């Protein structure tokens, strides 16, 4: 095989990775797996897919090398094949937001971005260490257990309205969820603000926090 043929094979191999990402549902599955390992059943439910469709998407991602599996009895557990897959997901979303005109209005429609105050990772760490804020994780409980910001409380957003008394009323709450484009934190801040609480968002989320190699606690809070 000549140089031109070898080059064609190389670029076709690169293109296969791009093809595996050419599905909104596959990107959503990667986003879910960036929070921790999950079974096919759990992924299908979280992504609103039937098992057959979810399995087909996961097989495409596996063939491209983006996810890997382990078997436990009859259950198959999926996880990202490396942190670089999470980095790719973050970069893809940022590039799309900057260069694809359809993305910003779609984000506004989905997130309901309202100009509410946000804090960055460094500011959050300083405020938390000084005891000036409560850090609130509003992801599903299984994602919190898989890894969360040290000291964060876990109240899934769907339970927040009924569990407000678990939060101090005189302390600002910093809310985070899966990542920069996760709607759960936006919904939680709106709910807290409507109930008279001081609430702000972390401008990233658990994925970006972990990729920045910041401390992560696994399991239930002490």
Considering the domain boundaries, does residue 96 fall inside one?
no
Sign of the CA dihedral running 70, 57, 144, 123 = positive
Considering the domain boundaries, does residue 99 fall inside one?
no
Residues of the chain with confidence (pLDDT) below 50:
none
**Torsion angle of C-alpha atoms 80, 83, 85, 89, degrees rounded to 10:** 110
The number of folded domains in the chain is 2
Q: Give residue 136's domain range.
A: 114-211
Considering the domain boundaries, does residue 101 fall inside one?
no
CB-based contacts of 25: which residues, under 8 Å, 6+ apart? 47, 49, 53, 57
pLDDT score for 221: 67
Q: Do 69 and 7 belong together in one domain?
A: yes
Considering the domain boundaries, does residue 104 fall inside one?
no
Structure tokens of 174? 């910093």
pTM of the predicted model over 0.95: no
- The CATH number that applies at residue 166 is 3.40.250.10
- Identify the three-state secondary structure at position 212: coil
Q: Do 147 and 199 belong together in one domain?
A: yes
Q: Which of the listed residues 47, 70, 87 is the one where a domain comes to its end? A: 87
Q: Do 132 and 189 belong together in one domain?
A: yes
pLDDT score for 1: 65
- The CATH number that applies at residue 44 is 1.10.10.10
Q: Do 142 and 71 belong together in one domain?
A: no
5 vs 31: CA distance, rounded Å: 35
Phi, psi of 172, deg, nearest 5: -65, 140
pLDDT score for 71: 94
Q: Do 38 and 124 belong together in one domain?
A: no
pLDDT score for 222: 53
Q: Do 82 and 169 belong together in one domain?
A: no
pLDDT, tens digit (0-9, with 9 covering 90-100), for 86-122: 999 999 999 999 999 999 999 999 999 777 899 999 9
Considering the domain boundaries, does residue 220 fall inside one?
no
Considering the domain boundaries, does residue 12 fall inside one?
yes
Residues 200 and 174 sit within 8 Å (Cβ to Cβ): yes
Question: Known catalytic residues?
Answer: 177
Q: Which of the listed residues 87, 105, 135 is the one where a domain comes to its end? A: 87
Q: Do 145 and 199 belong together in one domain?
A: yes
Q: Do 118 and 81 belong together in one domain?
A: no
Q: Do 59 and 128 belong together in one domain?
A: no
């Amino acid at each position: 095989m000549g140089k031109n043929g070898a080059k064609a094979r190389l670029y076709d191999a690169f293109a296969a990775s791009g093809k595996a990402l050419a599905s909104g549902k596959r990107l959503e599955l990667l986003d879910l797996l960036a929070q921790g390992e999950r079974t096919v059943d759990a992924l299908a439910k979280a992504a609103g897919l039937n098992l057959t469709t979810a399995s087909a998407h996961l097989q495409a991602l596996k063939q491209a090398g983006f996810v890997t599996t382990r078997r436990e009895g009859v259950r198959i557990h999926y996880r990202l094949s490396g942190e670089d897959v999470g980095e790719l997901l973050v970069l893809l979303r940022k590039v799309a937001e900057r260069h694809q005109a359809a993305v910003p209005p779609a984000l506004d429609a989905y997130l309901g971005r309202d100009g509410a105050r946000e804090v960055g990772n460094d500011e959050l760490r300083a405020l938390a260490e000084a005891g000036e804020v409560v850090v609130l994780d509003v992801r599903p409980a299984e994602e919190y257990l898989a890894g969360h910001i040290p000291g964060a409380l876990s109240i899934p957003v769907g339970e927040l309205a009924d569990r407000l008394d678990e939060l101090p009323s005189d302390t600002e709450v910093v809310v985070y969820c899966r990542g920069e484009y996760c709607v759960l934190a936006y919904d939680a801040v709106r709910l807290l603000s409507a109930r008279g609480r001081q609430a702000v968002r972390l401008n990233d989320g658990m994925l970006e926090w972990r990729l920045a190699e910041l401390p992560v606690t696994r399991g239930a809070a002490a």
